[in-house]
Structure 1
Amino acid sequence: MLKSDEFQRWIEASHAMFEIFEGRYDVYPLAVRWAKEWLNLKKFNVSKEDTEIVNHLIDSFNYDAYRNYKDKIEKNGNKWANIVKRADQQFKTLKNLKSGNWGNIGFGVAPFLFSWNFQRFKEYVKKKRNFDLQNYAEKLGKILEYRIKLLKEFSHKRLTHEEVAEEKVKKIFDDINSELRKIGIGNNEPVGTIKLLHVFSPYYFPLIDNKIASVIGLSSLTSDSYVEWMKVVRRWLQRYYDLNENLEQKFHFSILKLMDQGLYIMSSVKLRARVENLGLKVN
């Protein structure tokens, strides 16, 4: 267990590294801001600067960082190139996110969801020849609009301040997962579900992916196991209660997001891309 000063240094160091390697074109802050606006006004405003950030992300997205050389399809150069081409074509359709007011929040969270859950969207492109990201965003917006009341209720909660609302959490988790399964490729979508819940309630729903889940002893990500994860995170962060809000104010992120940055830096699949960014290579 980390001492308080060690926890603070871990958060600060992880955040600094995250900003160096991921922060430049990260659309997470936009997704959180737009989600908050939409919950309050049922619309969100996209500025010209926002569109530039989204477009930079799309133009600079490193698909090769997610290539799995153990996969029989992806290890084939031509097949991988085709996957990248089709994925990039779909991602570029989000350049249609022009400045102004938008009512469908699906388009506000789609750039974040696609870029931070590309391991999953990669499978959509591989297995669903007619996958259409615009259509996906449109349907996603309707799914979220139907659940706006409950999403808004969660957005006012802080995990470190109150007990986990187990039954309500399980309900919305299973509900959104079921809907994502319908508009995806027919598989459960726990990681996508969790990312969406977090964007709308960044102080209540902690992020987690399959790799972290396996390390902490969760065999799979279900509504039940996610509730257990929330309890674990709550207990852990309460040990550093006096530090949490100061760190949030310093970095302008929830402690749940800052914690996730630390876990991400420790376990990311993008090592190859990061080493290349450092300029370390054999000529």
Structure 2
Amino acid sequence: MPINIPDRQEFRKGCEEFKNHEKRDAMYKVATFLVSHFWGKPSDMADGLGVLLLTWNQAFYRYGLFDFDKLEKCLTDNLSRIENFRDRDIFTLSSSDNDDIKHLFDDLLKALQIDSGKAQGRRSPVAVAKALHLLAPKFFPLWDNKIAQAYGCYYNENPAERYVKFCEIIKDIANEVKDYTSRSEKTLLKLIDEYNYSKYTYGWI
């Protein structure tokens, strides 16, 4: 399907509308700091991820929480794989990364599933993308239901494969919009998500 590439005005408008409407960005900053500060300590890293997931993904986790011990084990088992992506940006994405991305996605999908209650076992590909982004904020893009559908990557089946495809699409978009903003403290992927969120999730632009 054809992919919409925003022009400079539309992209900046999306980021501005996000700033005007969305008040939860403080939790993103806190979670980003915690993950960075405690890098290499999976237990504390898991706590940092939890700060974001339990606020940004509250609508999902109100039915039950994930198990922090399982998330810690997932991070421990995959730390070297995660570190491979930590300092990379999405422009370095290649097909040789596909297997590692799928492995991380599937492991986090299990670790972040609801652990108890009536919704036990329910999984959230959205939570996985949020976690991956915090672990490698310049490499892994964010998505949600409406954003994934807008890019033809809806994740009702084979979510790991759909996420790899989404990464490839966002890489192409990043190449086009990389010069649209300057001197931002935010990563390019965060800005792209703000644009997507404004356009596709809420229709502010």
Normalising by structure 1, report the TM-score.
Answer: 0.61
CA 1:182 to 1:18, structure 2 compared with 1: closer, same or farther past 3 Å?
A: closer
Any unmatched runs of 5+ in structure 1? 44-102, 125-130, 272-283
Q: Are 1:42 and 2:41 matched, yes or no?
A: yes
> Partners of 1:261 and 1:34 in 2: how far apart?
21
Structure-2 residue corresponding to 1:250? 183
Question: 1:1-283 counterparts in 2 under 5 A?
Answer: 1-2=4-5, 6-7=7-8, 9-23=9-23, 26-39=26-39, 42=41, 104-124=44-64, 136-164=67-95, 165-181=97-113, 183=115, 185-220=120-155, 222-241=159-178, 243=179, 247=181, 250-268=183-201
Whichever of the two has the greater Rg, that structure is 1
**Which deviations, in whole Å up to 9, do the C-alpha atoms of 1:8-59 show, x marking residues without a partner?**
x3333222222232246621012112212222x538xxxxxxxxxxxxxxxx
> Partners of 1:105 and 1:270 in 2: how far apart?
33
Say if 1:104 and 1:138, in contact at 8 Å, map to a contact too. no
Q: Number of paired residues?
A: 195
**Which deviations, in whole Å up to 9, do the C-alpha atoms of 1:96-147 show, x marking residues without a partner?**
xxxxxxx5222222221111112211333xxxxxx5x7xx445433432332
Question: RMSD over aligned Cα, in angstroms?
Answer: 2.7
After TM superposition, the runs of 4+ consecutive aligned structure 1 residues lying more than 4 A away are none
CA 1:239 to 1:21, structure 2 compared with 1: closer, same or farther past 3 Å?
A: closer
Say if 2:70 and 2:111, in contact at 8 Å, map to a contact too. no
CA 1:116 to 1:24, structure 2 compared with 1: closer, same or farther past 3 Å?
A: closer
Say if 1:139 and 1:183, in contact at 8 Å, map to a contact too. no
Structure number with the bigger relative contact order (C-alpha 8 A, sep ≥ 6) is: 2
Any unmatched runs of 5+ in structure 2? none
CA 1:25 to 1:231, structure 2 compared with 1: closer, same or farther past 3 Å?
A: closer
> Partners of 1:180 and 1:173 in 2: how far apart?
10
- Report the alpha carbon displacement of residue 180 of structure 1 after superposing the two structures with TM: 1.9
CA 1:143 to 1:198, structure 2 compared with 1: closer, same or farther past 3 Å?
A: same
